[in-house]
Amino acid sequence: MEDVLQKIVAATGLAMEEVERRVAEKQRELSGFVSKEGAAYIVAKEMGLDLIGTGKKRTVKISEIVNGNNNVAFDARVLRVFEAREFEKNGRKFRVGNLLLGDETGTVRLSLWDEQIGLGSKIAVGDCIEVSGAYSKEGPVSIEVRLGRRGNIKRAENVELPSAENILKKEGSSRVSIEELKEGKVCEIRAALMQIFETENIFDVCPECGGKIKYEGGKYLCVKHSAVVPRKSMVVNGVADDGSGNIRLVMFGDVGLHLLGLTMDQVMERRGKVFDGLDLIGTEFVFSGRVRKNQMFDRLEFVVSGIAKLEMEKEISTLINALSAK
């Protein structure tokens, strides 16, 4: 910890007292959900210092990972394995699979692309893994991690981590009913899709980070990547109901496309008819994501980060285990 603070002092010229004050303030801002060391790394990143991505491998805790880190290495427990999906973009086909990982400090989503999916083919829920050569970026819900060209994941040996169940309980990421949802909660819900709003909300985003862009001076500009050639994205909105209540679903980009079973190219080809023939109303899914408050309409919304079809055998097993634990 002291080493991290000294590096910030040396790089910025700030007094140690000022650095410690900023770290303590960041901890308060994040409601104590990160350690003092984790807060120090976040403060360093916000000041333009990448103490993690220096080219030297260093194992970090998940809470220390912030947007823009490079060459990240960490140990984690596998909490969920999402089915790999295939989509087409600019005439090319891609595949992406996701893992939800966690340790005693937090959770993070790891995306595996194309040939990287093979690395996770023998990974199962509950496994401990080592992630190396990764980088972080801002996702639609929270920070996400991807593997760089030399990135790798493998089963970890002699690593002590809490069980998947305990990590999920600590994070508030376990299954809850809709009536239990509160602003800021990261969780999953089992619910039926009761409505899809058939508005084709298509917009331009930065091809690098997926962030908002604006058209100015004859160019499309991204705050992070300056002038870019935009790509199309969309958001799908719906309503889910689990019997205890209902909530509006917000599904950005690939998540919404996954629900529709379409690629963005197919959406563009079907403009005006995107929702025609869709037969999803009444279908039960497991939605994972984060609850946010829509300030304009003063209501809670569920920003979906993952969608899984309901697997009855798995649901029965989960129920039996829950009853046995009581």
- Are 295 and 303 contacting, i.e. CB atoms less than 8 angstroms apart? no
Question: Cα(153)–Cα(161) distance, rounded to whole angstroms?
Answer: 16
The separation between CA 63 and the C-alpha centre of its own chain, rounded to angstroms, equals 13
Q: Are 84 and 115 in contact (CB under 8 A)?
A: no
d(CA 87, CA 269): 14
Give residue 47's pLDDT band: very low, low, confident or very high (50, 70, 90).
low
Full-model pTM: 0.55
Q: Please write the tens of the pLDDT for every residue from 110-168.
A: 988 888 888 887 888 999 999 998 888 876 656 789 988 788 899 988 888 999 888 87
CATH pick for 175-204+230-325 out of 2.40.50.140, 1.10.287.130, 3.50.50.60, 3.40.50.620: 2.40.50.140
Of the CATH numbers 2.60.120.460, 3.90.1640.30, 2.40.50.140, 1.10.3470.10, which one belongs to the domain with range 58-171?
2.40.50.140
Q: What are the structural domain ranges in the chain?
A: 1-51, 58-171, 175-204+230-325
Question: What local confidence, expressed as pLDDT, does residue 32 receive?
Answer: 55
Q: 58-171 and 175-204+230-325: same fold? A: yes
Q: Is 62 a residue whose pLDDT tops 90? A: no
Q: 321: pLDDT confidence band, cut at 50, 70 and 90?
A: low
Q: Which two tokens stand for residue 216?
A: 């100015």
Cβ-contact 151, 133 below 8 angstroms? yes
* Structure confidence at residue 193 (pLDDT): 95
263-287 pLDDT per residue, tens:
999 999 999 999 998 899 999 999 9
With a CB cutoff of 8 Å and minimum separation 6, the contacts of 281 are: 193, 194, 195, 196
Confidence (pLDDT) at 31? 56
**For 223-240, what is each residue's pLDDT tens digit?**
777 888 999 999 999 999
